[in-house]
């Protein structure tokens, strides 16, 4: 391979713990009301951020300059496009009977996919990256809730509504995760605490491009400054 050196990942001892004093965290929350969240989700995350503020971290509200519905449509474009090769399953009547309705919906969404739409999705995704990159001019790391709802019963197929707002697809109740995914940036999920029923919630922390190691080092510092890992969720029958 012309002298290419084998890749070596850093060992645990190579990771430090940054001093969180003066560490700037941009809290994006529910994207200024765009995302529907179950009551308590935002409160728990903000309480956790207040907690690490006691060790010097600076937490400020911030928002990317981007139309979040545009991001949703960008994600749908790529989601449907990547499943276009599943059409052979759809075209076989016997196999189609075995597909869950959600998968059928995703395949059908690829039928009218055009090259122009895929190309536009690439532009939209790049603009999203640039919107987050601009925030990193002011912050070391960005934060979002890990989920829009608390853990639910295994008997629930997926949440059909949040706070009375219908979820039009089974992706909507977890829309909060597509921002980090489409950005291509390093993301770490960390515990944020529990609600009064003992249900856990976490936070996503998004770092700058190529700073995977620094994101993990922030996670180590966050864990040192909190006690959430000392508690485990209680499993219940109902």
Residue 6 clears pLDDT 70, i.e. is over it: no
Residue 58 lies in a domain: yes
3-class SS of residue 204: strand
Tell me, what's the pLDDT at 13?
75
CA-closest candidate to residue 176, choices 136, 198, 203, 197:
203
Residue 234 lies in a domain: no
Distances (CA, A) of 105 to 22, 80, 82, 93, 100: 47, 9, 13, 15, 9
CA-closest candidate to residue 188, choices 172, 176, 204:
204
Half-sphere exposure for 92 (CA within 13 Å, toward CB): 7
CA-closest candidate to residue 221, choices 28, 42, 61, 56:
56
Residue 111 lies in a domain: yes
CA-closest candidate to residue 211, choices 124, 122, 133:
133
Residue 103 lies in a domain: yes
Residue 7 lies in a domain: no
Rounded to whole angstroms, the Cα distance separating 129 from 126 reads 5
Residue 12 lies in a domain: no
Residue 62 lies in a domain: yes
Residues 134-170 have pLDDT tens digits of 999 999 999 999 999 999 988 999 999 999 999 999 8
Query: Into how many domains does the chain fold?
Result: 1
Tell me, what's the pLDDT at 212?
93
- The domain in which residue 54 lies consists of 18-229
Domain harbouring 147, CATH code: 3.90.1300.10
Residues 183-236 have pLDDT tens digits of 999 999 999 999 988 899 999 999 999 999 999 999 999 999 998 888 777 777
Rounded to whole angstroms, the Cα distance separating 150 from 172 reads 14
């Amino acid at each position: 391979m012309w002298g290419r050196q084998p890749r070596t990942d850093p060992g645990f001892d190579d990771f430090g713990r940054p001093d969180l004093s003066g560490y700037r965290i941009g809290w994006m929350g529910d994207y200024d009301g765009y995302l529907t969240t179950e009551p308590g989700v935002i409160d728990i995350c903000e309480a956790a951020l207040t907690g690490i503020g006691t060790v010097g971290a600076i937490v400020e509200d911030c928002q990317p300059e981007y139309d979040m519905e545009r991001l949703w449509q960008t994600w749908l474009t790529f989601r449907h496009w990547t499943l276009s090769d599943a059409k052979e399953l759809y075209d076989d009547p016997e196999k189609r009977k075995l597909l869950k309705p959600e998968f059928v919906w995703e395949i059908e969404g690829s039928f009218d996919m055009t090259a122009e739409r895929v190309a536009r999705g690439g532009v939209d995704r790049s603009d999203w990256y640039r919107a987050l990159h601009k925030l990193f001019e002011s912050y070391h790391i960005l934060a979002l809730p890990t989920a829009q709802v608390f853990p639910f019963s295994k008997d629930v197929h997926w949440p059909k509504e949040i706070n009375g707002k219908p979820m039009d697809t089974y992706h909507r109740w977890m829309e909060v995760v597509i921002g980090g995914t489409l950005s291509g940036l390093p993301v770490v999920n960390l515990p944020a605490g529990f609600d009064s029923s003992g249900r856990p919630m976490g936070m996503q922390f998004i770092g700058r491009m190529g700073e995977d190691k620094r994101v993990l080092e922030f996670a180590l510092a966050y864990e040192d400054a909190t006690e959430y890992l000392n508690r485990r969720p209680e499993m219940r029958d109902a």
